[in-house]
Chains A and B, each alone.
Chain A
Amino acid sequence: MTDKPIIKVVNLVKKFGNFVANDHLNFNVYEGEIFGFLGANGAGKTTAIRILCGLSHPTSGELEVAGFDVYKQSEQIKKNIGYMSQKFSLYENLTLRENIRFYAGIYGLSKKEINIRMDNLLENLHIGHLRDQLIGSLPLGWKQKLAFSVAIFHQPKIVFLDEPTGGVDPITRRQFWDMIYQAAKDGITIFVTTHYMDEAEYCDRVSIMVDGRIEALDSPAGLKQHYHAENMDEVFLKLARAS
């Protein structure tokens, strides 16, 4: 993790009619950081993520993602980020190889480059045998690990992970976090949401959103100290229940 901001958010406001989904958010995310973006259902996380990914325009505020302006350069942002969620990952009725070719093709990778990286990926995960399997036939844990690999296949600067481990068994959840650590070590910035509070501990810093505002932002150790809490679960309950 460096001290160079790769996401800059200044006074982000997003309104839907009279409803303020994001109420003056201010934060930076630094290069190579694992940044946890927490909040209760409906707190405004998804709205902010959609804006950071260039999929929705803010009502006001200044935002830069990977060095690009979210108002004017959303296409460049999309090229430089990766995204996966529990709901949207890979195409179930394509094979693993077809999914990789499809996604990598969208990002403009050459056939040769795709083949080299695909071989590396299959070898690193020891899954050469899954190459021609339909994604729909694989267990959820594998789908999620592969979806993550595909999301960073084009070597983005930042990857957004929206509840990547929802419903996944405890061993696979930990294997998934091993992959996150590896990606962060390789210099990819990780922006992740989760409802598992033990996973909040694995982040370098964590922000907690309550009713459209960021109520707290610090390292897990700093938050626990500040809120006199044993673990992140207690921190979260203190903040989210107070609302």
Chain B
Amino acid sequence: MPDFSIDIQNLSKTFGPVKALDDVSFQVEKSEIFGLIGPDGSGKTSLFRILTSLLLPDSGMATMEGYDVVKSYKIIRQITGYMPGRFSLYYDLTVEENLAFFATIFGTTIKENYDLIKDIYIQIEPFKNRRAGNLSGGMKQKLALSCALIHKPKVLVLDEPTTGVDAVSRKEFWEMLKKLKQQDITIIVSTPYMDEASLCDHVALIQKGKILSIETPANIRNAFSHPLYKIAYPDMYRLLTTLRTFSEAVSAHRFGDSIHVALKTRTGEKEVRSFLEEQGLKDVALEPVRPNIEDCFMDLMNDTHD
């Protein structure tokens, strides 16, 4: 039996009529990056709050590093670093004061665990006397991560750490996560960015409190069952609305400078082309394309989306 860092068994949580978590079970291996991908309101935050002992489940159980998140909540809080979705540092304290505050609460000092945060903190150290409220988005996020790490946690729980963060800072953030993983820290992270999913070891797609699929990013992509084509035309909006009326198409979604069309059967290029030509769209650029995580997620979501 493999050695799990996080073990979740049949977890459910309701808020009035809303089923935030509906019989959720999965395991996270030691020192892996586990991604929880799902839209707003899918239950990610409720799950993270239960794991960090801030919310009690209605039923089911969960352990982190072998400790029950309900019974052993004191130990759970010692071994967990939590970065909530909303920036949760003290705006009127400086960068350094925030970090010192979190260190003190966990009975440690900045000095003692400086090695762990060095790579990250060094980037915001020039601003250590600036109030946290006056930092840019990317810097706030680095400070929040430093504060979550300062007590050397075994498990890092990151709730949408990159929402509202620019593309460059997002890449830097994921480079930091990879380094932390090598220091034997287990990371469970949620994100609405599908490109980040491909950087995880395993990914769970969650919607309306239910896990749709848990796989490696490669397997999620391999499981996509429809033939997929990439199409481009100068008037993209017209191409999109036309493709949506094509009876052989399962879906048509914009992807940057082209449109991805999933087909019901392997009818192939010819039929798509002749349909578009009938509609007056000639000489479209068309080629088969390998589905990415976003294609797969939208396909899984399609049944339930309203």
* Pairwise interchain contact A86-B301, C-beta atoms closer than 8 A: no
* Pairwise interchain contact A167-B254, C-beta atoms closer than 8 A: no
Complex CA–CA separation, A195 to B137 (angstroms):
12
The 5 closest A-B pairs by CB, nearest first: A169-B39, A42-B136, A41-B137, A140-B40, A201-B256
**From B167, B194, B298, contact of A240 by CB (8 A):** B167
Beyond A169-B301, A177-B254, whether A86 also contacts B164 by CB under 8 A is yes
List chain B residues, Cβ under 8 A from A168.
39-40, 192
CB distance from A201 to the nearest CB of B (A): 4
* Pairwise interchain contact A167-B168, C-beta atoms closer than 8 A: no
Q: How many A-B pairs fall under 8 Å by CB?
A: 90
Q: Tell me whether A30 is interfacial, beta carbon within 8 Å.
A: no
Q: For A86, give the chain B residue with the smallest CB separation.
A: B164
Q: Tell me whether B70 is interfacial, beta carbon within 8 Å.
A: no
Complex CA–CA separation, A171 to B39 (angstroms):
9
CB distance from A186 to the nearest CB of B (A): 13
**From A40, A177, A181, contact of B168 by CB (8 A):** A40
> Interface extent on B, as a size class?
20 to 34
Q: Tell me whether B237 is interfacial, beta carbon within 8 Å.
A: yes
Q: Tell me whether B297 is interfacial, beta carbon within 8 Å.
A: yes
Q: Which residues of B contact A (CB under 8 A)?
A: 38-41, 136-139, 160, 163-171, 192-194, 236-237, 253-257, 294, 297-298, 301-302, 305
Complex CA–CA separation, A60 to B136 (angstroms):
24
6 more A-B contacts (CB under 8 A) besides A40-B166, A169-B192?
A167-B192, A169-B38, A196-B193, A197-B167, A221-B257, A240-B167
**From A39, A139, A171, contact of B166 by CB (8 A):** A39
List chain A residues, Cβ under 8 A from B138.
40-42
Q: For B41, give the chain A residue with the smallest CB separation.
A: A139
List chain B residues, Cβ under 8 A from A163.
164
Q: Tell me whether A58 is interfacial, beta carbon within 8 Å.
A: no
CB distance from A223 to the nearest CB of B (A): 11
List chain A residues, Cβ under 8 A from B171.
237
**From A167, A174, A201, A236, contact of B167 by CB (8 A):** A236
Q: Tell me whether A69 is interfacial, beta carbon within 8 Å.
A: no
Complex CA–CA separation, A86 to B164 (angstroms):
9
Q: List 13 A-B contacts (CB under 8 A).
A: A39-B166, A40-B138, A41-B139, A163-B164, A167-B192, A170-B253, A170-B298, A171-B253, A195-B170, A220-B257, A236-B167, A237-B171, A240-B168
* Pairwise interchain contact A201-B257, C-beta atoms closer than 8 A: yes
* Pairwise interchain contact B39-A195, C-beta atoms closer than 8 A: no
CB distance from A36 to the nearest CB of B (A): 12
Q: Tell me whether A76 is interfacial, beta carbon within 8 Å.
A: no
Q: For A42, give the chain B residue with the smallest CB separation.
A: B136
Q: For A198, give the chain B residue with the smallest CB separation.
A: B256
Beyond A40-B169, A195-B167, A236-B168, whether A167 also contacts B256 by CB under 8 A is no
